[in-house]
A and B are shown apart, each in its own frame.
Chain A
């Protein structure tokens, strides 16, 4: 019996002795930046295919693009690997001159051939983000003639569709404008795949950092490029760790095991107040959260119902309560703080006005519908708020929470009724959002414009579609800006989209960390100016 007593005690003692091992806390090294966040959305790091938030972030630090928004000034479009460009009189041809003496991580020079190869690669691989450049009229068949090397310093692109050169330049600042090292990529190509398999988890860029490893759902490790054109980054290594649980992220940050926490919830951000070791910074994003009505649904076919819906949302209430600084109100399709945005916000919660509109539309007693929503924060909180205020006007709704893998097929197939969703622009030109929120040149089922939000909601307005086309091809910058501002106000009133909020990313970092930049678009996140 005595031994029976002792056995568990000995075992417990052994376990505790492990637990009482010397403290194992460690600050991150001074030349290493450790970032905590969720990186399980990364499925590739090939710039011709990357379209996920974290993949695009990593890519932004590895590749210099043809055109860029640099971290020093996120509102000015400048040349990336090019130092200048000339636009032909008809606006259809742009000739770029390369920056001299740029080199890739491999040591190879960055040549016009690399820029041409990179753009052709995007078109020929034809992955999802390729639409950003194929909209200019580039196809697999014509791209060899339309994108060409002029001489050892210059290359030329020609578009066949009517697009403003400003828009084209902006599009080339997206991830698909990244310039890859042709020689390295081709050396790793298999069966003519243009290095597609290899570039998924390797890098061949000229950016501030070089990819060391990407272990899916674990870490991304980047090493600084000592020959970077703006000088070697202060951080020798950047490690992005997958820490899915925000509470664990907060503990790691407070203990100094990570330098930056990217995905803390509002209550955790609030809990950091008073901690002098932690600084919370705001980074306005261009991501919009909206409710949309599928106008093919009988009850949602009347524009007066759409307007009533916009008056049945408690914008102030949500902003002041559970959104807690992570979202600001915005009601037009192009986010505030960017060129040509319209900041008018005509809608507030007005139940009486909404009831009158519903009565006019023939629904004095309201009706019943479903709201599809993602099942994550803050969507569920937003959905419950919208459900509650819609009910005040007589629209009784059932929330259908679901994962993106179930929601997006439904949305693309126009099988929803009301939907709560988000949208971020693909590049910093208003056409990126206008093309999706406003333009719908063919509303038929057969058209299958599944990537277009207006089509998904079965809504088409010819005047608005024509204005979108006019704005995209307008050569005069001021006039173009005016059209977009007008277009946003018109869309705000006439569309079945109730745009509610614009995201404001709150990043918590150790107080000694400076220089982290998270721009408005998901592929404008920079680590190269970070110091500790």
Chain B
């Protein structure tokens, strides 16, 4: 028992504690952990590309017709069929695609005639801008609302928060977007219409990051910056409402769970202030769960919201991937999938890292 107790977690059986505690051994453990993460990442991407590739090939869609059009004579069709390598066995096609990815080539998009990588660099920042701000709205408003609702369970404020959550959750985004446009753009004129920027400002700031807010600041062009901000208000508010509804609801639920625990009663009996009980003790204990929820919300927004992007004519990755699917543009679909997959993996890793910061037990 004594020997077993001296072993460090992750130490092979029989390795004494002194050896396990040595620098070399700690390095070995760290490397093994990093290797494990890298292996898991590689397997995730391999699986992601494989499944997407196979789905793309078995779907009754014809990528050749997306290029040549439905009226193409057979000889034109056959030529493009060969150019795309579709006459090769599917595993050869997949290996070629993988080889391309490893050399940084995601292929060329049918719908834009540009390298998929270039497209993603253009469309993804538009989605990042929207998703990040919407998540911020969701967190900044949703978390306090959820906490308040839990603290005042069954009272007016709780009902209001639940109503907001219900509305945000059940209203079709398409409808909400159109109504918001009708009221705030068409009737009141408070915000500009669909689009990322007024047409006369397009091309006025050089694309450095693709994020208009950042690029306009880098260029020192405040007119473009404020125009971009104006255009963001409505779509961010709509997407933010959904993020808010989800985050507020989950925060309320987590907090209610904690507030029923005995340690809360103990803290109150000890005479701690209500503020300390709620924010330091109860809220501190829901942080891990909240980070998961916020991370997932952000990742799902980074996938792109097709309907919001359609209503607001927002050139984001959601529209890009959807159009690519309709046009059998498999390179674009695969490229988009890899980006979305990377986001999920990245955000999950970030969440894991944050768990360790907020919860000592996870270290």
Contact = CB atoms under 8 A, between A and B. Distances in A.
A19 B233 contact: yes
A404 interface: yes
Given A7-B144, A405-B65, A243 B313 contact: yes
Interface string B67-88: 1111111111101000000000
A450 B74 contact: yes
Interface stretch (A61-69, A186-194, A249-257, A490-498): A249-257
Nearest to A243: B313
Contacts of B195: 241, 243
B60 interface: yes
Nearest to B327: A405
Contacts of A450: 72-74, 77
Given A23-B189, A40-B323, A1 B274 contact: yes
Interface in A500-519: none
B91 interface: no
Given A28-B199, A217-B111, A241-B195, A8 B313 contact: no
Given A21-B229, A216-B111, A403-B326, 16 more contacts: A1-B151, A4-B275, A4-B278, A15-B141, A18-B233, A34-B199, A127-B76, A213-B203, A219-B202, A242-B313, A242-B315, A248-B193, A251-B181, A255-B186, A255-B193, A410-B60
B74 A449 contact: yes
Given A15-B237, A23-B189, A248-B194, A43 B113 contact: yes
B243 interface: no
B60 A409 contact: yes
B141 A51 contact: no
20 contacts: A7-B144, A8-B145, A11-B144, A43-B66, A43-B113, A51-B69, A52-B69, A128-B69, A128-B73, A217-B123, A242-B315, A245-B178, A248-B181, A248-B194, A251-B194, A405-B66, A405-B328, A406-B60, A449-B74, A450-B77
Contacts of B326: 403-405
A363 interface: no
Contacts of B233: 18-19, 21
Contact of B190 (A19, A26, A242): A19
Interface string A23-55: 111101100101000001001100000011000
B73 A131 contact: yes
A130 interface: yes
A218 interface: yes
A7 B184 CA distance: 25
Interface string A408-445: 11111000000000000010000000000000000000
A439 to B, nearest CB: 14
B181 A216 contact: no
Contact of B191 (A19, A128, A241, A247): A19
Interface residues of A, number: 67
Contacts of A23: 189-190
Given A8-B141, A244-B313, A248-B313, A128 B190 contact: no
B193 A404 contact: no
Nearest to B63: A405
A24 B230 contact: yes
Interface string A193-230: 00000001100000000000101111101000000000
A24 B62 contact: no
B72 A215 contact: no
A527 B60 CA distance: 39
A350 to B, nearest CB: 33
B191 A43 contact: no
A448 interface: yes
B140 interface: yes
A475 interface: no
B302 to A, nearest CB: 18
A26 B73 contact: no
A239 interface: yes
Interface in A230-288: 239, 241-245, 247-248, 251-252, 254-255, 257
Interface string A447-461: 011110000000000
B7 to A, nearest CB: 46
B195 to A, nearest CB: 7
A451 B71 contact: yes
Contacts of A254: 186
B199 A20 contact: no
A471 to B, nearest CB: 21
A8 B66 CA distance: 49
B141 A11 contact: yes
A509 B192 CA distance: 19
Nearest to B113: A200
B111 A40 contact: yes
Contacts of B190: 19-21, 23-24
A126 interface: yes
A18 B186 contact: no
B339 interface: no
Q: Which of B144, B194, B227 has the most CB of A within 10 A?
A: B194
Contacts of A217: 111-112, 123, 315, 319-320, 323
Contacts of A131: 73, 76
B46 interface: no
A196 to B, nearest CB: 10
A304 B182 CA distance: 53
A4 B147 contact: yes
A12 interface: yes
A131 to B, nearest CB: 5
Contacts of B328: 405
B313 to A, nearest CB: 5
